[in-house]
Structure 1
Amino acid sequence: MNTSTGSGANPWFSWEYVRRNSADLVAALEQHTTLTAQAVLVALVIALPLAAAAHLRPRLAGPLVGATGVLYTIPSLALFGMLAPYTGIGRTTVLIGLVTYALLVLVRNILVGLQGVDEDVRDAARGLGYGRARMLLTVELPNALPSIVAGVRLATVTTVALVTVGVVVGYGGLGQLMFRGFRSRYHAEIMTATILCLLLALAFDLLLYLVGRALTPWSRTARTT
Structure 2
Amino acid sequence: MTLFLEAIAWLLAPEQHEGANAIASRLGEHILYSAIAVAIAAAIAIPIGYAIGHTGRGKQVAVAFSGAARALPSLGLLTLLTLIVGIGQAPVAATVVFVVLGVPSVLAGAYAGIESVDDDVVDAARAMGMTEWQILLRVEAPIGLALLIGGLRSATLQIVSTAVLAAYVGLGGLGTYILRGINLNSYEEMLGGALVIVALALVLDALFSLAEWLAGRSARRRPRNVTSTPVVARTHPQEGTS
Q: TM-score normalized by structure 2? A: 0.80
Large movers: runs of 4+ above 6 Å: none
Partner of 1:71: 69
Partner of 2:37: 39
Aligned-pair CA distance for 1:41: 1.3
Higher helix share: 2
Aligned-pair CA distance for 1:88: 3.2
Partner of 1:183: 183
Deviations 1:107-162 (A, max 9, x none): 11111111110112111101101122211111101100010111111111111110
Partner of 1:7: none
Which of 31, 48, 51 aligns to 1:50? It is 48
Matching residue's letter, 2:13: V
1:184-223 alignment runs, 5 A limit: 184-219=184-219
Q: Which moved more, 1:198-207 or 1:48-57?
A: 48-57
Give the 3 Å change call, closer, same or farther, for CA 176–72 of structure 1 in structure 2. Answer: same
Deviations 1:76-103 (A, max 9, x none): 1221122113433332211110010111
Using the aligned pairs only, state the percent identity: 28
Which of 19, 34, 43 aligns to 2:14? It is 19
Question: Take 1:148 and 1:156, find their aligned partners in 2: how far apart are those partners?
Answer: 12
Question: Take 2:28 and 2:157, find their aligned partners in 1: how far apart are those partners?
Answer: 16
SS at match of 1:59: coil
Give the 3 Å change call, closer, same or farther, for CA 218–43 of structure 1 in structure 2. Answer: same
1:1-225 alignment runs, 5 A limit: 11-15=6-10, 18-23=13-18, 24=21, 25-89=23-87, 90-219=90-219
Matching residue's letter, 2:70: Y
Question: Take 1:15 and 1:189, find their aligned partners in 2: how far apart are those partners?
Answer: 7
Give the 3 Å change call, closer, same or farther, for CA 50–16 of structure 1 in structure 2. Answer: closer
* Structure 1: runs of 5+ lacking an equivalent: 1-9
Matching residue's letter, 1:18: A
Question: Take 1:77 and 1:202, find their aligned partners in 2: how far apart are those partners?
Answer: 23
Matching residue's letter, 2:16: N
Question: Take 1:20 and 1:144, find their aligned partners in 2: how far apart are those partners?
Answer: 47
Question: Take 2:214 and 2:135, find their aligned partners in 1: how far apart are those partners?
Answer: 22
Contact 1:17–1:189 under 8 Å retained in 2: no
RMSD: 2.2
Contact 1:83–1:93 under 8 Å retained in 2: yes
Aligned-pair CA distance for 1:58: 2.7
Partner of 1:3: none
Contact 1:163–1:172 under 8 Å retained in 2: no
Question: Take 1:211 and 1:59, find their aligned partners in 2: how far apart are those partners?
Answer: 29
Give the 3 Å change call, closer, same or farther, for CA 198–136 of structure 1 in structure 2. Answer: same
Aligned-pair CA distance for 1:186: 0.9
Give the 3 Å change call, closer, same or farther, for CA 95–139 of structure 1 in structure 2. Answer: same
Give the 3 Å change call, closer, same or farther, for CA 34–60 of structure 1 in structure 2. Answer: same
SS at match of 2:171: coil
Matching residue's letter, 1:29: L
